[in-house]
Amino acid sequence: MSDNIQIETSWKDQLKNEFNQDYFAHIKQFIINEKAKGKEVYPPGKLMFNAFNLTPFEQVKVVIIGQDPYHGMGQAHGLSFSVPLGVKTPPSLQNIYKEIEQDLGFPIPNHGNLSNWAQQGVLLLNAVLSVNAGEPASHKAAGWENFTNAVIYHLSKKRQNLVFILWGRFAHEKELLIDANKHLILKAAHPSPFSAYQGFMGCKHFSKTNAYLQSCNLKTIDWQIM
């Protein structure tokens, strides 16, 4: 089955065993079944592995974990928290921008496309990689977390000095997959309007990430979105 997966070569090599697992066949069948019911599935198939295609395995420096894709028309493009150009910036991302402004002084951009972060080594990873239109968490039972947990585990085991940014209780659960002796783990509340002022605002995760990367003699991330 792995031959049919359109994913960047280094990731295909790292995850080749996952593509041949029963759970991955179940994911594929789950999506086929949802479409057969007349459901519209986001993001489009060609963008489902966009985070991996923009950020090859050896280029990952930072991992930002989201829950599942945006479920509004045209919002999801395979990157956690990000939306394509021309799509209104969602509330959680607006709060991320406010925190960057407070932390680093960068102005709030007029769009929500985070592809520039991805191209610098920020893996924008949703735990679930697909969703039905208008139905948040509708693919939670598909089996995606088996796959994305394997992604986190492989990164933790085979790489050094990564920064894992975990926002919200759901993301905090992924801490168990990460070797804290080899990597920096940053945790805070979710940037959603419901929780942003319960520990996300003021977390300074962006400056802390760059301070850690610099301490490891690694190139820092330019968090400014132009």
Active-site amino acid positions: 68
In the chain, the DSSP E strands lie at 41-42, 62-66, 122-126, 131-132, 163-167, 184-188
Residue whose C-alpha is closest to residue 149's, from 129, 132, 127: 127
Phi, psi dihedrals of residue 75, rounded to the nearest 5°: -80, -45
SS3 label, residue 21? coil
Q: Mutual orientation of helices 144-158 and 22-36 as an angle, nearest 10°?
A: 140
SS (H, E, C) 132-183: ECCECCCCCCCCHHHHHHHHHHHHHHHCCCCEEEEEHHHHHHHHHHCCCCCC
